[in-house]
Amino acid sequence: MATVSDPAASDVTAHAPAATPQTGNGESVDFRVFRGTPDAPEGDKAYQVPMVPGMVVLDAMHYIQKHVDTDLAVRWNCKAAKCGSCSAEVNGRPVLLCKTRVDELPDGPITVRPMKTFPLIKDLVTDVSGNFAVNRKITPFTPTDADAASTEPWRIKEPDIERLYEFRKCIECFLCQDVCHVLRTHDLHERFYGPRFFVRVAGLEMHPKDAADRRDLVREDGGLGYCNITKCCTEVCPEHIHITDNAIIPMKERVVDRHWDPIAWVGRIFRR
């Protein structure tokens, strides 16, 4: 170890430096937060929260928990837009609460409601477990026999995986599932995997070392055809994944190639 010069040691105290977070100038912000359970919905409840510079909506929910209603239910983890836990709808728009700055919202009361597409548990928390069930249906990563048997480290060229990085950025916030009208309006949860899982499938299908074929799965079980590429999912993605252009449309093309290419179709008849 290099030794460290310690010029200031004798002057320091065991206290953290005097960086008191600057608070606001006495302004407060009006919130309308949905409260209640499916059996006992209470509707939107009004709260006033003191404004702090740079405040995000999740900060305001924590203020309410600490000072007003300790039982306000809100999911969160990293508070840095990396885990995708705090999804909800602010002024009707699906967002991450930890990334939504209060000073960027229009004046007037801010409404905060749970994601509409999933069953309500309480307040801002919904039951998103169905999404995890979908993931279990998707054929996992499957290398070729040769690759699996090889004892040498794999060689993979960067250009062959570059397009996958985007898909792997997904933090599973499920905002894309929330906004998708096939799930939100038509409630086709049993017949449609949803944008998050088309991204998942695309990431597997385009992996240069993957040998499985998920085209039938995604067409039949996954209901890929229900998507009519309105791109709402892409618009709400906090990771800016081009869900429609880079995942869904290429998957649709692959499915079309397999099922509706006339030469391949004739070929399949003869193989039977």
Partner 1 sequence: MAESYISHDCDVLVVGAGGAGLRAAIAAAEAGCSTHVVTKSLLGKAHTVMAEGGIAAGLGNVDEKDGWQVHFADTMRGGQMINNWRMVEIYAHEVIDRVFELERWGGLFDRTPDGRIMQRAFGAHTWRRLCHVGDRTGLELIRTCQDRAVHTPGVEVHMEYTLTRLLKDGDRVSGAMGYRRSDGKFVVFRAKAVVMASGGWGRMYKHTSNSWEGTGDGAAMAYDAGAELLDMEFVQFHPTGMIWPPGARGILVTEAVRGEGGLLFNSEGKRFMLEYDPKKKELSSRDVVARSIYKEVQAGRGSTHHGAYLDIRHRGADYIKKKLPSMYEQFHALASVDITKEPMEVYPTIHYTMGGIRVEPETAATTVPGLYAAGESAGGLHGANRLGGNSLGDILVFGRRAGEAAAEYAKVRGTAPELRDAEIEAEQAALLKPLDSTDGVKGENPYLIHEALQDAMQDDAGIARTEESLTRSLNAIGELKERAKNLKVGGTRTYNPGWHTCRDDVFMLTVSEAIVRSALERKESRGSQWRLDFLEKDPEQGRVNYVNYRADDGSMRVKPIPVEPLPVELSKYLEDS
Binders of partner 1 among residues 88 to 117 (CB under 8 A) are: 99, 101
**Does 145 help bind partner 1 (rule: CB under 8 A)?**
no
Establish if 19 lies at the interface with partner 1 (CB under 8 A): yes
Total interface residues for partner 1 by CB under 8 A? 82
> Mind giving me the DSSP string for 135-172?
HHHSPPP-B-HHHHH--SPP---HHHHHHHHHHHT---
Query: CB-wise, 71 or 190, nearer to partner 1?
Result: 71
Closest contact distance (angstroms) between CB of 184 and partner 1 is 20
Closest to 68 in 3D by CA, of 88, 46, 52, 85: 46
Question: Hey, what's the torsion of the CAs at 162, 164, 165, 169, to 10 degrees?
Answer: 170
For residues 19 and 16, what is the distance between their CA atoms, to the nearest angstrom?
8
Which lies closer to partner 1 via its Cβ, residue 155 or residue 272? 155
Give phi and psi for 145, each to the nearest 5.
-60, -40
Is residue 271 within the footprint of partner 1 (CB under 8 A)? Answer: no
CA–CA dist 153, 216 (Å, integer): 31
- Give 154 or 260: the residue with its C-beta nearer to partner 1: 154
User: Which residues, 220 to 259, sit near partner 1 by CB under 8 A?
Assistant: none
25 counts as binding partner 1 under rule CB under 8 A: no
Which is closer to partner 1, CB of 164 or CB of 226? 164
Q: Which stretch binds partner 1 (CB under 8 A): 19-27, 184-192, 246-254, 258-266?
A: 19-27
Is 27 an interacting residue with respect to partner 1 (CB under 8 A)?
no
Give the range of 136-144, 188-196, 227-235, 245-253 binding partner 1 by CB under 8 A: 136-144
**How far apart are alpha carbons 173 and 34 in whole angstroms?**
20
Taking phi over 0 as left and psi of -120 to 50 as alpha, with beta for the rest, 240 belongs to left
Residue 84: enclosing H or E segment and its boundaries?
Answer: none
Q: Show contacts with partner 1 in window 194-213 (CB under 8 A).
A: 204, 207, 209-210
Angle at 129 between CA 123 and CA 134, to 5 degrees: 145
Q: Report the alpha-carbon distance of residue 77 to residue 113 in Å, rounded.
A: 18
Q: Does 156 bind partner 1 (CB under 8 A)?
A: yes
Identify which of residues 201 and 248 has a Cβ nearer to partner 1 in the complex.
201
DSSP state of 56: B
Name the residue nearer to partner 1 (CB basis): 207 or 215: 207
Nearer to partner 1, 114 or 189 (CB): 114
Give helix then strand counts, H and E, for the chain. Answer: 11, 7
Is 168 or 268 the residue whose CB approaches partner 1 more closely? 168
Contacts of partner 1 in 52-91 (CB under 8 A): 52-56, 58-59, 65-66, 69-85
Q: Does 171 bind partner 1 (CB under 8 A)?
A: yes
Out of 1, 46, 263, 269, the residue judged to bind partner 1 by CB under 8 A? 1
Counting Cα atoms < 13 Å in the Cβ hemisphere of 189 gives: 16
